[in-house]
Amino acid sequence: MLAKHGAHRRADKHAGSLLSATQYCALALLLSLVLSSSAFFLPSSALGALIAIDLLLVIHGLYLKNKITALLKVGAAQLALTLPLYYLLHGEAQLLDGVIVVLRVFLAMLPGWWLSSTQSPERLGEVLSWGLPAKWAFVIAASIGLLPYMLQETKEIYAIQCLRGANITPKALRNPKNWPELVYCVLLPVLIQLLKLSKQMAKAAKLRHFGKVNKPTHWPSSREDK
């Protein structure tokens, strides 16, 4: 009887912790959506406050030992591509506007990086299933969970193509004639890899009879078990 009572107490304690993790994930998702939307809708004079809030997210993500190098490289690439275009189209007078545009896009991506770095796909799927069909929640949660993996895959493909002699180094990409080579050597292989991975995930979900019930079970992730 005592063993049975103790098992019930452990189960209740685990359910309570799981509920807290789910609620925390819901708040994190809501915060990410608000901050990402604010990056586009706030006036330029209010971007300083948004930068301060996003900086706290970056500190939290780095504290949890998550890497932000790939996101910084994406922001630098956007800046390197956008500023020359602004200079050619509008002249030197509107270069600051180009910087602000790139800054807004980067600030819109930062909350997504923080969300995918701190929340497990299992909990995201559970939270999204509150207002979406289970299949849509699964697709969105899986896509968010794949972001770190696809960034790593892109980095590896880029490094391999550079070793093969492709003209896609930062110095070579200063010439717009080399931009199509970046598409053929990096973007297309990444797209093919993403399609292959999506097909594998769809097959795995089908073999597990996903979608047969309206409310699938959301198992706790390994991070919550520790």
Residue 95: how many CB atoms within 10 A of its CB? 15
The Cα 178–Cα 212 span in angstroms is 49
Do 87 and 128 fall into the same domain?
Answer: no
Any domain includes 104:
yes
Any domain includes 126:
yes
Per-residue pLDDT for 82 more than 50? yes
Task: Quickly tell me which residue has 């890497």 as its tokens.
Answer: 67
Do 146 and 169 fall into the same domain?
Answer: yes
3-state secondary structure of 226: coil
Instruction: Give the Å distances, CA to CA, from 155 to 101, 140, 150, 213.
Output: 25, 23, 9, 38
In the predicted model, what is the mean pLDDT of residues 187-198?
86
93, 119, 145 — which closes off a domain? Answer: 119
With residue 1 as reference, give the H or E element that holds it: none
Do 37 and 115 fall into the same domain?
Answer: yes
Do 59 and 140 fall into the same domain?
Answer: no
pLDDT tens sequence across 135-175:
777 777 777 777 777 778 888 888 888 888 888 887 887 78
The first and second tokens of residue 121, run together, are 């796909």
Any domain includes 3:
no
The Cα 149–Cα 147 span in angstroms is 5
Do 58 and 17 fall into the same domain?
Answer: yes
19: Cβ contacts below 8 Å, ≥ 6 apart: none
The Cα 115–Cα 2 span in angstroms is 42
pLDDT tens sequence across 13-72:
444 444 577 788 888 889 998 999 999 898 888 888 999 999 999 898 888 888 888 788
Do 19 and 109 fall into the same domain?
Answer: yes
119, 141, 173 — which closes off a domain? Answer: 119
82, 98, 119 — which closes off a domain? Answer: 119
Do 33 and 50 fall into the same domain?
Answer: yes
The Cα 100–Cα 33 span in angstroms is 20
CA 132 to chain centre: 20
Do 115 and 176 fall into the same domain?
Answer: no
Do 225 and 124 fall into the same domain?
Answer: yes
Do 207 and 168 fall into the same domain?
Answer: yes
- Residue with more model confidence, 170 or 109: 109
Any domain includes 2:
no
Do 148 and 219 fall into the same domain?
Answer: yes
71: Cβ contacts below 8 Å, ≥ 6 apart: 106, 109, 110, 113, 151
How many domains are there within the chain? 2
With residue 11 as reference, give the H or E element that holds it: helix 2-41
Do 132 and 221 fall into the same domain?
Answer: yes
Q: CB under 8 Å, gap of 24 or more: what pairs does 44-51 form?
A: 44/100, 47/100, 47/103, 47/104, 47/107, 50/107, 51/107
Any domain includes 111:
yes
Give residue 155's domain range.
120-226
